Amino acid sequence: MERIPDLERRRLLQTAAGALVVGAAGCADTEDGDSHPQLEELDMDALRETVAEQSEAPDGSVTLGVGFADEQLPMTSELYEPNPDAEIGDTEQYDTQALEDVDLVADPVEELPTLDTDEITLYALDLAPGETRTMSLVVRGDEDVAFDAHQPEGEPYDIDSGLVLNCYCIDEVWNAPAEGTWVRVIEVGLEEDLDDPESGAMVYGVFDGEE
């Protein structure tokens, strides 16, 4: 297995202290004229209700469902437990789709739990206010694909209120190799000073990076 250098990799607006990026800082907004058919068809309030109904979060925590609107591209986006030695923002390409050979993913390989929804796959993160979760975002496909992500749509939380992102949607075009794997270590969480925390959903819009 060969690791392919990702010339596009960069760390997201980290300070010397490694502080998290809170809210919208560093996230690429959806510009006027941009449209995302899959995102536009999603009922975010219904997804929020689905997450709440299926939540198994312990007392003091809520469930955040995290999804990726990427059905228009020849790729899949999945979340896995990260290698504990990996750092947030680490980004690599690999010439294999066997995740046991991908060193930014934990060994043994463990995909994050998903929720039962007909609209889109949502990964379940149980979070207390002020808590964050680190994970490996894994993209695989049968052909070369260039893609970028815009700030997520969310209910009841979004990048202006409630979400903490350290991040994927940073106005960067990424490249996943054919029959290979692209991985980025990201972090998602909730702000500490939430009033009446409740379960919610957020979905990244993933766009064709060549358009």
Q: What is the pLDDT of residue 171?
A: 79
Residue 17 has pLDDT above 90, yes or no: no
User: What average pLDDT does this structure show over 191-195?
Assistant: 94
27-53 in b/e form (b: 16+ CB < 10 A) is bbeeeeeeebebbeebebeebbebbbe
The domain segmentation of the chain, as residue ranges, is 60-208
Phi, psi of 45 (to 5 degrees): -65, -40
Which of 8-22, 39-53, 164-178 has maximum average pLDDT?
A: 39-53
Please give the model's pTM, rounded to 2 decimal places.
Answer: 0.86
- pLDDT tens track for 54-113: 999 999 999 999 999 999 999 999 999 999 999 999 999 999 999 999 999 999 999 999
On the question of a cis peptide bond just before residue 156, with omega within 30 degrees of 0, the verdict is: yes
